[in-house]
Structure 1
Amino acid sequence: MKKITILDIAKELNITFSTVARALNDHPAISAATKKAVRETADRLGYRPNKVASSLRSGKTKIIGVLVPRLDVSFFSSVVHGIEGVMNENGYTILLYQSQESAKQENKGIDTFLRSRVDGIIASISLETEGTGGYGEVKERGIPLAFFDRAPQALDVPSVTIDDYRGGFMATEHLIKSGYRRIVHINGYRNIHIFNERLRGYLDALKQYGLPVDENLIVKGDFSLEFGRHCVRDLLAKGVEFDAVFTLEDFTAMGVVQELKAAGKRVPKEVGVVGFANEAFTSLVSPTVSTLDQRTVEMGEEVARLFLKLLKKGNYYSHKPEKIILEPELLIRESSSR
């Protein structure tokens, strides 16, 4: 089968080679009608552009590197879904890499993107990332960079995040208004900004409603389903009185619910539970788990649109970094409804 070229399209429409080439590249000097005719003819003839040659001519690959901590949780996969949808609509493809929460793997991902000559990077940092990590070099090279969810505080670049402080406050306030008074908060032991903000929201809610801050009710560790179970076992073994648990994410919350049930504690009558992230399973288990929705697909779409808007302006880092903060949504389900 003969490969269709730009010259074939030009002959079909009786226009010049350069007109077709510029129309396919959306050149402003070409009319909308001509662009439409060229694209329709290209589709009809089965034209497929040579992306390698195109990138060599333009210096652009139309590929965006997306670096995420992990894809085995629905939060990050949903954000990627949002990013990819917007990028594809605008003629870009994504190159995806997982750091697996490792700073070493994260740096390998950054290196892979740089060697692949991506047009920019959208990322959420790993739990091990310190300072600017490997992203400082990305900015120094002038390569466009934006963050979502977790962003290094030492690097002033565009980002889209959720209001984690507000989320922590909302979760704790809900539990207080539901009649719970001895509220445990399970957080991470690492110094991660978003987790610190959720803790700050928890503390401020207690203070606003006149409840004492008890350090015995603040537990830190390497969060996971098993850690949630461990926290409940440990609290019960120590005889610590508590009637609610707010966790920094949903897998830990699920572990808490499982261990409470194993210990014969009724959820939510005796102990209320609220997680954070709205993982897919939280609405499918029994009891369903109350949580904070982080508007994941919207977060992905917003960071992609912000990235492309700045890319189109040119001189990416000459503009003041825009930081979009989304409002979380409290989803009250069975685990905290009494």
Structure 2
Amino acid sequence: MAGKSKTTIHDIALKLNITASTVSRALNNNPRISKATRKAVLKVAKDLNYQPNNIAAALRNGKSHIIGVVVPTANRAFFSSVVRGIEEIANKLNYKVIICQSYENYDKEVQTIDALLSARVDGIIASISKNTLDFEHFKKAQDRGTPVVLFDRTTDEIETGQVMIDDYLGAYKVTEHLIEQGCKRIAHFTNPIKINIYKDRLRGYLDALRDNNLEIIDELIVESNMQLEDGRESMEKLLKLDEWPDAVFSASDYGAMGAMQVLKEKHIKIPEQVALAGFSNEPFTSFTDPTLTTVDQLSITMGKVCAELFFKQIKAGNKKELPQKTVLKPELIIRQSSLKK
């Protein structure tokens, strides 16, 4: 049995014996329509379960009042907090947010951008997947006049608004803190696909070692996807060395958590034998035993700045403005896992 077709403004007009244009004006609260007519239209619309066609409205008005937000995964506290920040600003301006996930998959990310463009979103705010090396899909959006703002995981391959924290400074601060605690063989978990955030965190780690006259030891730099299981495997690898590291700085809290599990299973004392630090300030870091030293990425603030930058681009319209890059200062949160002194 074929599904029932959706109610249109023409159905409402037929029911009330008025024109479709009158229905449209009434639904959009046009002052030319009397209160009695608008009340009647709204009642029939409700009775017939009328749902407005946002895409059609966007085609007519040029605005959908919808922002597409693309994140690698929505179940990470960091990304959900960024979305919260975006919505706090967007909702005040009568904009809605559609949240999409790339699942760290380039093809999925491309398909998602195409779907958002087809849905006539007014703009796209995205954090690119770890596997994205080609950015033509974002350029395509820009070519269509759709503003694009990138956050956290960004790229310099395209000219667009960017919002991030100073990953270099955050990593430098963590490494310097570990050195101040007396650590000399500091390992680092990084990602093999060097998107900006991981490149900058690695650079901060290396520069902190150099500035403190500590040797850079290649075997102490371990590449992985830095999820929980990756952290476990990376820690197991380090414990097979003739000389263990006395500290591990992971560019991901999840990697640090995996390392913590292995150390505790082997009864290796944290931080006395091996100090630990992560990056992101995921909620679980304040509940681990010991609690985990990490870097706060100011996620809600980042979301708000993304939204403000998007609306600035909307306001500018066709005026040519240079892409704006906003860099937030991270906060080092020192907890029990790194306090040797």
TM bucket, shorter chain: 0.7 to 0.9
Q: Which runs of 5+ in 1 are unaligned?
A: 21-41
- Matched residues in 2 for 1:220 and 1:315: separation? 43
Counterpart for residue 328 of structure 1: 330
Within 5 A, what are the aligned runs for 1:243-258?
243-258=246-261
Where 2:201 maps in the other structure, the secondary structure is: helix
TM-score (normalised: structure 1): 0.85
Deviation at 1:106, TM superposition (A): 0.2
Deviation at 1:131, TM superposition (A): 3.4
Within 5 A, what are the aligned runs for 1:182-197?
182-197=185-200
- Matched residues in 2 for 1:171 and 1:51: separation? 51
Query: CA 1:60/1:178 → structure 2, altered by over 3 Å: closer, same or farther?
Result: same
Are positions 1:337 and 2:327 aligned together?
no
Within 5 A, what are the aligned runs for 1:166-181?
166-181=169-184
Are positions 1:234 and 2:237 aligned together?
yes
Deviation at 1:206, TM superposition (A): 0.4
Counterpart for residue 76 of structure 2: 73
One-letter code of the match for 1:143? T
- The count of corresponding residues between Structure 1 and Structure 2 is 307
Where 2:115 maps in the other structure, the secondary structure is: helix
Matched-pair contact (CA < 8 Å) for 2:71–2:79 = yes
Counterpart for residue 141 of structure 1: 144
- Matched residues in 1 for 2:142 and 2:115: separation? 16
Matched-pair contact (CA < 8 Å) for 2:276–2:338 = yes
- Matched residues in 1 for 2:307 and 2:288: separation? 33
Counterpart for residue 317 of structure 2: 314
Q: Percent identity?
A: 41
Deviation at 1:19, TM superposition (A): 11
Q: Which moved more, 1:158-167 or 1:139-148?
A: 139-148
One-letter code of the match for 1:323? K
Matched-pair contact (CA < 8 Å) for 2:152–2:165 = yes
Query: CA 1:244/1:7 → structure 2, altered by over 3 Å: closer, same or farther?
Result: closer
Q: Which moved more, 1:48-57 or 1:64-73?
A: 48-57
- Matched residues in 2 for 1:126 and 1:5: separation? 41
Matched-pair contact (CA < 8 Å) for 1:186–1:248 = yes
Deviation at 1:178, TM superposition (A): 1.1
- Matched residues in 1 for 2:129 and 2:95: separation? 25
Where 1:17 maps in the other structure, the secondary structure is: coil
Counterpart for residue 260 of structure 1: 263
Matched-pair contact (CA < 8 Å) for 1:103–1:133 = no
Deviation at 1:113, TM superposition (A): 0.2
Q: Residue by residue, what CA displacement relative to the aligned partner does 1:59-82 show, whole Å, maximum 9, x if unpaired?
A: 111011111111121111111111
Where 1:77 maps in the other structure, the secondary structure is: helix
Q: Which moved more, 1:252-261 or 1:219-228?
A: 219-228
Q: Which runs of 5+ in 2 are unaligned?
A: 1-14, 17-22, 36-41
One-letter code of the match for 1:17? R
Deviation at 1:138, TM superposition (A): 1.2
Q: Residue by residue, what CA displacement relative to the aligned partner does 1:273-324 show, whole Å, maximum 9, x if unpaired?
A: 01000001001111110000000000001010111012112116x1011100
- Matched residues in 2 for 1:112 and 1:161: separation? 26
Query: Cα RMSD over matched residues?
Result: 2.5
One-letter code of the match for 2:212? Y
Counterpart for residue 17 of structure 1: 32
- Matched residues in 1 for 2:297 and 2:134: separation? 25
Query: CA 1:140/1:185 → structure 2, altered by over 3 Å: closer, same or farther?
Result: same
Match of 2:133 among 126, 130, 138: 130
Deviation at 1:225, TM superposition (A): 0.8
Match of 1:157 among 149, 156, 160: 160
Where 1:127 maps in the other structure, the secondary structure is: coil
Query: CA 1:7/1:185 → structure 2, altered by over 3 Å: closer, same or farther?
Result: closer
